[in-house]
A and B are shown apart, each in its own frame.
Chain A
């Protein structure tokens, strides 16, 4: 199986091969891996990849998926042009 042809995070174009490398190197939390690979930092903010990554980490650590800490969610849910925020009227 060619893990470099399996996309895990579509937004940031991260493959399963890259994720596995990260795990092998000892980075086994979502937050660590996010800082290295940018997974979950694109337009969908992890909504599409989080479950897959959660499961890969669990498989690697041989722990149940539900025990793996989820990634931190921060504002905003979607991309916004800074100008629109700056020019917004405050009623």
Chain B
């Protein structure tokens, strides 16, 4: 058993930001990341980010990742990073197990921060297992990380920011986006992203979803269907669209497993994407000295993931007797930033979700 002060699971914006603050506080940090690269979702984001200026808005996602990673370099003597390493389990006595290749490892940590992010939601429709049906994240990974075209004619399901941005990235890569389907009666993402697509001639069809896919070894065509205000299919409204790839972008759900298996109290909240941990204002779960931050505590965005990471890093260090030199200022600042990020019409969902969880801002 390897004994450690602080272990952070997940090297996305939340985990990286937490690591930096904990290192600044004087702690030794172990960071464990399943993927080969650090950066989480950021490594496949080629677009300039929205969000707040202090959290790198207008910088490309992939460049934000580089900044966050470079920020840790000064502390390399106190920072231990495991990449290509999947944390397999967390137990109530703060024991973590992980696998790197064929190497099985066991740790015990005084404090733990879970920053595992989220995974994509799936959709139920006929023949939804034909090759050529992807999640938006998979398409981004293929296209932006590995330079592989997912197809030549794509239909996107979902008009949230991810659906809109990935549609635009597909067009940039030379792929034809035949339509964006949206089940609800309005476009989910920011209008700036939607307008860009419409100007390029992509129809965005609201009250419409995918009903079935056709093809045997590869997708060839889909049928769409219109939905009435009660989300019931409108008879006779089916239309066909030829395509060789279908991209599903219908939301994310938190990767909660490590938290729920170890006995942290969990709660299911639609607005936050599914099962999330109960936590206090300091992002500590119901398990003492186990903190959580980023998308795993509720689907939001990179800006809030970074701020939450800072707060979790700050509080985890404090809980072990390491007070950051600017503890009070940073604590007040991060709480204030979170409040700001969640203001306005775009923050409604997250505010409602937090309220349901009993964590009003």
Contacts and interface: CB of A to CB of B under 8 A. Distances in A.
Interface of A: 1-2, 5-8, 10, 16, 45, 47-52, 54, 65-66, 68, 70, 73-78, 80-81, 84-85, 87-88, 90-91
B127 A8 contact: no
Nearest to A85: B104
Given A47-B255, A75-B261, A6 B102 contact: no
B129 A10 contact: yes
Interface stretch (B156-164, B265-273, B338-346): B265-273
A27 to B, nearest CB: 19
Nearest to B3: A91
Contacts of A49: 122
B126 A84 contact: no
B253 interface: yes
Contacts of A51: 121-122, 253, 274
B1 interface: yes
A47 B257 CA distance: 8
A78 B119 CA distance: 14
Given A73-B257, A73-B261, A90-B106, 11 more contacts: A1-B126, A8-B124, A45-B257, A50-B275, A54-B268, A66-B268, A66-B269, A81-B102, A84-B99, A84-B102, A88-B103
A53 to B, nearest CB: 10
Nearest to B225: A1
A5 B124 contact: no
Interface in B85-102: 86-89, 91, 97, 99, 102
Given A48-B122, A84-B103, A7 B128 contact: yes
Contacts of A78: 86, 88, 99
A54 B253 CA distance: 13
Given A49-B122, A73-B261, A6 B128 contact: yes
Given A65-B268, A66-B268, A66-B269, A73 B126 contact: no
Nearest 10 CB-CB pairings of A with B: A75-B89, A88-B104, A76-B88, A73-B260, A5-B126, A73-B261, A84-B104, A7-B129, A48-B122, A77-B257
A14 to B, nearest CB: 11
A78 B89 CA distance: 9
Contact of B87 (A5, A77, A91): A77
Interface residues of B, number: 39
Nearest to B267: A66
Interface in B116-132: 119, 121-122, 124-129
A2 to B, nearest CB: 6
B256 interface: yes
B327 to A, nearest CB: 34
B84 to A, nearest CB: 13
Interface in B57-105: 86-89, 91, 97, 99, 102-105
A31 to B, nearest CB: 14
B354 interface: no
27 contacts: A1-B211, A2-B126, A5-B126, A5-B127, A6-B125, A7-B128, A8-B124, A10-B129, A47-B119, A47-B253, A48-B122, A50-B274, A65-B268, A66-B268, A70-B260, A70-B275, A73-B256, A73-B257, A75-B88, A75-B97, A77-B86, A77-B258, A80-B88, A84-B104, A88-B104, A90-B1, A91-B2
Nearest to A48: B122
Contacts of A47: 119, 253, 255, 257
A77 B124 contact: no
Nearest to A83: B102
A90 B107 CA distance: 10
Given A49-B122, A54-B268, A70-B268, A88 B127 contact: no
Interface string B240-279: 0000000000000101111011000010111000110000
A85 to B, nearest CB: 5
Contacts of B2: 91
A84 B269 CA distance: 37
Contacts of B88: 75-78, 80
Contacts of B124: 6-8, 16, 52
